[in-house]
Structure 1
């Protein structure tokens, strides 16, 4: 039995770092594609900019669950004395994703990267009002919960407001952002009848990472013999499932819906940088 548990612990650690690698690598195809094309045409600033806020929240929550004695103590009080199922690879991924999201967002400043300038009224050039509202609202919600805890914090975290609730709020901000951040790009692909300019490589890597993330969380909870490892870390479970759901949508768009001559003709007309003189796609 002990050998079985040691094996599962090893599998969990391996899966954790593999999914971290997959998710981390998924942030490179899009900025690399933008650099090759010297343009952000076909993508929207909404996706990377809202990612900055989401991964800032995710980074903060992972850091707290890993390194804050107070948060870890409050977690144990609420979850049968167990430790958080957040792993070092989760923290590393959040830090890396935050940095790459900032870099990708900066590519929408053409003068900074020497990219082709896009029209100020072109869809996707400016952050939409809805996304801006979500970004601002996220900071307000977390700040409000922190204010409530500061004023009415309960000495016993099991029965009232505690600082762990601030961390959970930041986690749920990340979850909510994940549920909505893909929609602007899904709609852009739909309007263009094309996925031109949107890297499918990042989606395939993201899909693989989502599967391994959910498996790792399940193994960790099994090893603890308590599924509160999942209920105590619902964001990690939801992140994996939500990302896989939208990844499937993007894969259907790329490989089935818009993988035809009409989509190519549309891309050639509106984004000639995607094709060479022979009509072959360069991304």
Structure 2
């Protein structure tokens, strides 16, 4: 009875966190659209998110639907099945689409937004992020070549295609570790979170907590905590998201509360403000 109840709770948490994380992608593009501007935010975040969620989608799909990968997972984890669920796949697919839309907003001609200077902070993908994207693709390709060359090894102890799936999922993990930093630094330089939606952070925080709780429940039901170690990306995604969400909340509610930022105090206009308010602010 208790196990059945926990199974229901796990499934409920799974879909609720999926909804929270999925909804967290909407506040920023909606805010950008309302303001007709992407000022105050950085292109690095959606750019790196697209690749990250493609990697997450591919790895989840493999764990869910590849008989070979599932067999190799069972060999390494006491005959158990992966703790990845369909809601993880659904979330990743949705995230790719919305992140792509947000990324497209940095092309003013497409949306009719105010043009940003090409040299402005956050207007172009930074070299460090481009390097990370290239390095991630090269890393996965190297692992795939190694596995292809040693495909006859015992998958339980040697190289196997599940290692390519893990490498792909680690791309998402690495991206999550660094993707928030450009925006954290942008908020710091502007001394403001103006233009960066706090609602996406609150929803992301709720999703991270529920994601970790679901993973814990699933591992408890299996009677083996390798369900957590066997799905390190899902565990780290929740923890890293929570860590950075707390930083953003501190910036928004404590450090820079009510501040418009250096760009706006220097005369940049906010489309959401009326003409009288703009004149008053500039004066």
TM-score range for the pair, normalised by the shorter chain length: over 0.9
Counterpart of 1:205 in structure 2 is 203
CA distance in 1, matches of 2:179, 2:269: 24
Cross-structure match for 1:221: 219
Question: Where does the alignment leave 5 or more consecutive residues of structure 2 unmatched?
Answer: 279-283
1:58-117: per-residue Cα shift (whole Å, max 9, x none)?
000000000000000000000000000000100000000011111111111111111111
Contact map agreement 2:204 2:241 (CA 8 A) in 1: yes
**What is residue 230 of structure 1 aligned with on the other side?**
228
1:253 corresponding residue in structure 2: 251
Give the 3-state SS of the residue equivalent to 1:120 in structure 2. coil
Runs of 5+ consecutive residues of structure 1 not aligned to the other structure = none
> Relative to structure 1, is the Cα distance of residues 245 and 279 closer, same or farther in structure 2, using a 3 angstrom cutoff?
farther
The two structures have a TM-score, normalised by structure 1, of: 0.95
Whether 1:264 aligns to 2:248 is no
Match of 1:92 among 90, 93, 97: 90
Q: Check whether the contact 1:197–1:274 (CA below 8 A) recurs between aligned residues.
A: no
Given that 2:35 and 2:270 are in contact with CA atoms closer than 8 Å, whether structure 1 keeps it comes out as no
Give the TM-score taking structure 2 as reference length. Answer: 0.95
Task: Name the CA shift for 1:256/1:274 in 2 (closer, same or farther; >3 Å).
Answer: farther
CA distance in 1 between counterparts of 2:109 and 2:208 reads 35
* Pair 1:145–1:264, CA change in 2 (3 A): same
- Quick one: which of 140, 147, 150 aligns to 2:148? 150
User: Following TM superposition, by how much is the alpha carbon of 1:172 offset from its aligned partner in structure 2, in angstroms?
Assistant: 0.8
Alignment check: 8 A CA contact 2:192 2:261 kept: no
The equivalences for 1:27-176 within 5 A come to 27-176=25-174
Residue 226 and residue 270 in structure 1: after superposition, are their counterparts in 2 closer, same or farther (change >3 A)? same
Helix, strand or coil: the match of 1:8?
A: helix
CA distance in 2, matches of 1:108, 1:264: 21
8 Å contact kept, 1:196–1:274? no
**What SS is found at the alignment partner of 1:270?**
coil
1:252 Cα deviation from its structure 2 partner = 0.3
Residue 15 of structure 2 corresponds to residue 17 of structure 1: yes
Which residue of structure 2 aligns with residue 26 of structure 1? 24
Q: Alignment RMSD, CA only?
A: 1.3
Is residue 2:242 matched to residue 1:244? yes
- Structure 1 position 264, deviation (Å): 3.1
User: Any conservation in 2 of the 1:41–1:271 contact (CA below 8 Å)?
Assistant: no
Question: How many pairs are equivalent?
Answer: 276
Can you list the C-alpha shifts for 1:5-50, whole angstroms capped at 9, x where unaligned? 0000000000000000000000000000010011101111000000
- Equivalents in 2 of 1:148, 1:229: separation in Å? 26
Question: Residues of 1 paired with 2:17 and 2:128: CA distance?
Answer: 31
| SS at structure 1 position matched to 2:249 | helix
Please identify runs of 4+ aligned residues in structure 1 that moved more than 6 A. Answer: none
Distance in 2 (alpha carbons) for counterparts of 1:213 and 1:247: 14
